[in-house]
Amino acid sequence: MQTTKKTTARRIALVTALPLVGALALAGCATDDDDRDDVAAPAASAPSVSATEGATGDDDTTTDAAAAPGEDALVAAAATARKAVGSGTVTSVEQEAGGTSWEVIVVTSDGAEQEVHVDADGERTTAGPTEETADADDVAENERFVGAADLSVAQAASTLTKTVRGTVTELGLDDHAGTVVWEGDVLDGSGTTHSIRIDAGSGKVVTNTVDTDD
């Protein structure tokens, strides 16, 4: 009889302990889940930026607008000449004296031509401005060229060096088959001169030939 009472007591104790064990087990699972959540959800990080992206940034616009090697001196000469005249449209830039200077023609609002000479770097005026003698036909042609030239000297020169890598030695507005074009020469690395015509309105390359003249 005493043994039976002890057995019954142990059973009652075991039954009483089971809910407590279950509760502790559930608490342990909850703790483990929380730990896993902490590992699976790290703090958000900022988007990565490559060295190139970080270096360029907003400077891309400046880079695109700047003249590339081979055209920078010509573009600088055009700007210097226009500044010397005061206003107007540059219609011709040409190397002279073996590449030691530039001859630049600027057309003013009245259709007249001003000739300016600039040093090889394009930074300093060496002569002029000097107004060129022009008759009514010259004025009319100049006004037609200026009116049709949506591309600036810088844009035309950039198109030339994108078409043929090299140095732009000459660039000017001209007429080709009834269309106003920028006509320019590019001297490539092998010493070959390429004559290129660009539609002055659209920027499309019209002709691209090798200059065989001695």
> pLDDT tens, 89-123?
999 999 998 889 999 999 999 999 999 999 999 99
Q: Indicate whether 6 belongs to any domain.
A: no
Question: What is the model's pLDDT at position 147?
Answer: 94
Q: What tokens does 83 get? A: 């500044």
Question: What is the model's pLDDT at position 54?
Answer: 28
- Residue 189 confidence class, pLDDT cut points 50, 70, 90: very high
3-state secondary structure the chain: CHHHHHHHHHHHHHHHHHHHHHHHHHHHHHHHHHHHHHHHCCCCCCCCCCHHHHHHCCHHHHHHHCCCCCCHHHHHHHHHHHHHHCCCEEEEEEEECCCCEEEEEEECCCCCEEEEEEECCCCCEEEEEEEECCCHHHHHHHHHHHHHCCCCHHHHHHHHHHHCCCEEEEEEEEEECCEEEEEEEEECCCCCEEEEEEECCCCCEEEEEECCCC
30: phi > 0 → left, psi -120 to 50 → alpha, else beta; which?
A: alpha
Question: What is the model's pLDDT at position 43?
Answer: 38
Q: How many independent structural domains does the chain possess? A: 1
Q: Indicate whether 153 belongs to any domain.
A: yes
Q: Indicate whether 29 belongs to any domain.
A: no
Q: Indicate whether 67 belongs to any domain.
A: no
Q: Indicate whether 48 belongs to any domain.
A: no
Range 15-29 average pLDDT: 43
* Least confident among 3-7, 126-130, 135-139: 3-7
Provide the domain limits for residue 112. 73-210
Q: What tokens does 158 get? A: 């950039």
Q: Indicate whether 10 belongs to any domain.
A: no
Q: Indicate whether 66 belongs to any domain.
A: no
Q: What's 177's domain CATH number?
A: 3.10.450.40
Closest CA to 115 of 105, 102, 101: 105
Q: Indicate whether 61 belongs to any domain.
A: no
